[in-house]
Structure 1
Amino acid sequence: MTDQTDLIVFSDLDGTLLDHDSYSWAPAASALRALRRIGAGVVLASSKTAAEIAPLRQAIGFADWPAIVENGGGLLAPGQGAETAAGDYPALRARLAALPPGFRGFGDMSATEIAAATGLSRDAALLAQARQFSEPGRWTGPEAELPGFLQAAAEAGLTAQQGGRFLTLSFGGTKADRVAGILAERRPRHSLALGDAPNDVAMLQRTEFGVIVRNDHAPPLPTLPGEASGHIRRTGAAGPEGWAEAVLALLDELKLTKEPTSHG
């Protein structure tokens, strides 16, 4: 890019930009239009796969921006489609097989089971199984044995991140790491991150402004450093309604409502 972008928005998906139950982003459409109008960037940051994120990124009108996939395990380049390669996934599955039993990942489930666990259609569940870098799932063993499993995973070189629905294992890399890299490359005047789950906290703290989007389907995040100063905010509305509320309020606060100064 030759011009400095006024604002880059980094956004979690499920329970944040997407409604927890319907997966609709429609309530955020007006805020997305406002961001496009000023030439802002939107970088989706999710545990979802490249196969899931590519069509969504196209639909919301930000295909010319990168996306953070699989909780930071990889990046989807601007303009790249949904084609995927195996990546680290086979090695990850092999490492998981050597751990104490009790974790049931997407690779252990049928598409029908994933659809039932997520509310996705079966076709969408198949896209969720097209993994390259990480394995989401649920702990099905005794709760008392979960700390031991997590310790064994760490000793095996794996990173565990708790999202809104699933515990995700990977070889490392976080949303916050990817956000830092994109900020260093793009150097926007302002940056905003929005999320609702524990695996979003570091991302919210990495940008100039962070927004905790209300999610009535999960325990609320604890008070974070920066909330008293306004660095971290919380929405009154949940999901995409809250997303739009926060984005439009910040655009007004920063007086970013005129013609764009640059493009992604």
Structure 2
Amino acid sequence: MFPRQLGYGYLIFMKTLHEWHGRLIVFTDLDGTLLDHATYSHAAAAPALHALSQLGVPLILASSKTAPEMLPLHAALGLGDTPIIVENGAARVTPGDTLGAHGDYDRLRTILSELPQDLRAPYRGFGDMTDAQVAQITGLNPEGAGLARQRSFTEPGLWSGSDAGQRAFLAALEARGVTARSGGRFLTLSFGGTKAGQMQGIMGDLGRDIAIALGDAPNDIEMIETATRGVIIRNDHGKGIAPLSGEAEGRILRTTLPGPEGWNAAILGLLDQPALMQGHD
């Protein structure tokens, strides 16, 4: 028998959870979400990470970071052979994959170099910087900055011009097949692919049909809106995310705490709500 103090409601919750956790999957942004904005630590999320691991719920890292940046964290979290969504959704990679030549990135840099100088000058991409300069603007150590510059698909950068200039810059890139997404810190250029698109593919591959997605920046919106339950992590350092329609419905939540503290509270809170499963019988 279960101890009386657990209560009947708790027993019902546990039964429901164990019936459904085989269908659940979690997708998470990294910087400012699972990782602290300043320290890049995920320590505050340890209880929720442990809970997901105990339940056997796959955790999918989804970031604008490169595969070389993300794979050490993937290993440190003990995520096995689960895929990762890299470079803002440009691709998904499984540990051990070989990315091959950097054709997409080289082509992207070529397009940038061919733009009129007045459009191009205000945009400073990682390819325009040294490891030390990337370290300075990101807070990464030099080794981490070097990994951040090992790009295969996308180019993050900083825009220092006017809003009108940015619109003209983006229009010129769009005419050449290049899209742009604004994240917590950078304007990232690519040839397409989104976190949400990769998310749906992974759910199909793993046979999971109930998803939680967490993020803190505009480039996470599609992923958050696609999920069964979306979580907007409080962002005190960037643009954050404007109100979304799913918030009024209660399908999308906002945390009061930032970064991994908010992430931890959100995951534990959702795992404690059998209503998460409603509509997926």
Q: Which TM-score applies when normalising by structure 1?
A: 0.91
Q: CA RMSD in A?
A: 1.9
Paired residues for 1:133-152 under 5 Å? 133-152=153-172
Contact 1:16 1:238 (8 Å CA) reproduced: yes
Matched pairs, number: 253
2:61 corresponds in structure 1 to 44
Cα 1:83–1:149, aligned 2, differ >3 Å: closer, same or farther? Answer: closer
Cα 1:210–1:4, aligned 2, differ >3 Å: closer, same or farther? Answer: closer
Q: Which has the higher helix share?
A: 2
Deviations 1:199-250 (A, max 9, x none): 0000001110100000111233211011112110001110000000000111
> Whole-Å Cα distance in 2 between the matches of residues 87 and 242 of structure 1?
38
Contact 2:27 2:214 (8 Å CA) reproduced: yes
Question: Residue 6 in 1 paired to residue 23 in 2?
Answer: yes
> Unmatched 5+ residue regions in structure 2?
1-19, 277-281
Contact 1:54 1:81 (8 Å CA) reproduced: no
Contact 2:21 2:57 (8 Å CA) reproduced: no
Contact 2:99 2:152 (8 Å CA) reproduced: no
Contact 1:51 1:82 (8 Å CA) reproduced: no
Larger radius of gyration: 2
After the TM superposition, which parts of structure 1 deviate over 2 Å for at least 4 consecutive aligned residues? Answer: 3-6, 79-85, 140-144, 184-187
> Whole-Å Cα distance in 1 between the matches of residues 82 and 195 of structure 2?
15
2:111 corresponds in structure 1 to 95
Contact 2:65 2:87 (8 Å CA) reproduced: yes
Q: Percent identity?
A: 51
1:110 corresponds in structure 2 to 130
Question: Residue 59 in 1 paired to residue 79 in 2?
Answer: no
Q: Which TM-score applies when normalising by structure 2?
A: 0.86
**2:270 aligns with one of 227, 246, 250:** 250
Secondary structure in structure 1 of the residue aligned to 2:245: coil
**1:209 aligns with one of 202, 208, 229:** 229
Cα 1:245–1:4, aligned 2, differ >3 Å: closer, same or farther? Answer: closer
> Whole-Å Cα distance in 2 between the matches of residues 59 and 20 of structure 1?
19
> Unmatched 5+ residue regions in structure 1?
257-264
Deviations 1:170-193 (A, max 9, x none): 011011110111122223242100
> Whole-Å Cα distance in 2 between the matches of residues 84 and 212 of structure 1?
34
Greater relative contact order structure (CA < 8 Å, 6+ sep): 1
